[in-house]
Amino acid sequence: MVDRYRSKALELPDPEHKIDRVDLAFYGVDHSSATYEARIFIGAPRSLKRDAGPDHPAYAGSFYVFGHDRCYGEEGHCKVPEKRDPFDLRLPHHLEPTTEIVTVTAAIERLLADGKRKAVVDVIARDSEGKASRALDFTQLRLLTYR
């Protein structure tokens, strides 16, 4: 788990085509620990400060995770099963990783207008007092463009 993340460069949508909507999808998001805000910046310089906020030109949006806090069961209670029997009709484990979808159309349109073809994504995790939160963990990030 980390308190900030910087992606490899993502290819932006083709500027020749009109965009209806662009989403950033974070897959496999862990929610087993603290409650936190994940601030998302697209195309920010490497020097991006950790207290950067919505007034930063590269800010694209936030998602919020409602943390489970810690395990209140016995050993194994909060361990997500790695495999699931196809005949297991029970509801998913309570800590099954989730997906967060953040609509970032305006941010992508700004980058395209500036002639950018690729951009990195920075994610900064903070608690409600603005302190760094080492609760950020996800398996994949994808930029989804809709026309």
Partner 1 sequence: MSVAPAISGRRASVSLRHRRSARRLSKGQLTDLRKAVTKTQRIGDDRGYQYWAGVHGLPNPQSCRHGDELFLPWHRAYLYFFEKALQDQVAGVTLPWWDWRDHSEALPAAYARARTAEGKANPLYSSPIQPSGRRQPNERRTWREPGDVDWLPSANQVTQVRANRDYFTFQNQLESLHNGVHGYAGGTMGAVATSAYDPIFWAHHCMIDRIWYLWQLDHPGARLPARYLDLALPPFPMTVRDTLDVTALGYDYAAATAAVPGTGNG
Catalog residues that contact partner 1 under the rule CB under 8 A.
23, 29, 31, 35-37, 53-54, 62-69, 72-73, 77, 91-92, 94, 96-103, 127-130
- Toward partner 1, which CB reaches closer, 48 or 104? 104
- Toward partner 1, which CB reaches closer, 77 or 134? 77
- Toward partner 1, which CB reaches closer, 103 or 145? 103
- Integer Cα distance of 92 and 85 in angstroms: 11
Residue type, 10: L
What residues does 29 pair with on adjacent strands?
98
Q: How far is the CB of 128 from partner 1 (least distance, A)?
A: 3
Burial of 62 (0-12, 13-18, 19+ CB in 10 A): middle
Q: How far is the CB of 9 from partner 1 (least distance, A)?
A: 25
Given the structure tokens 């590269």, which residue do they identify?
58
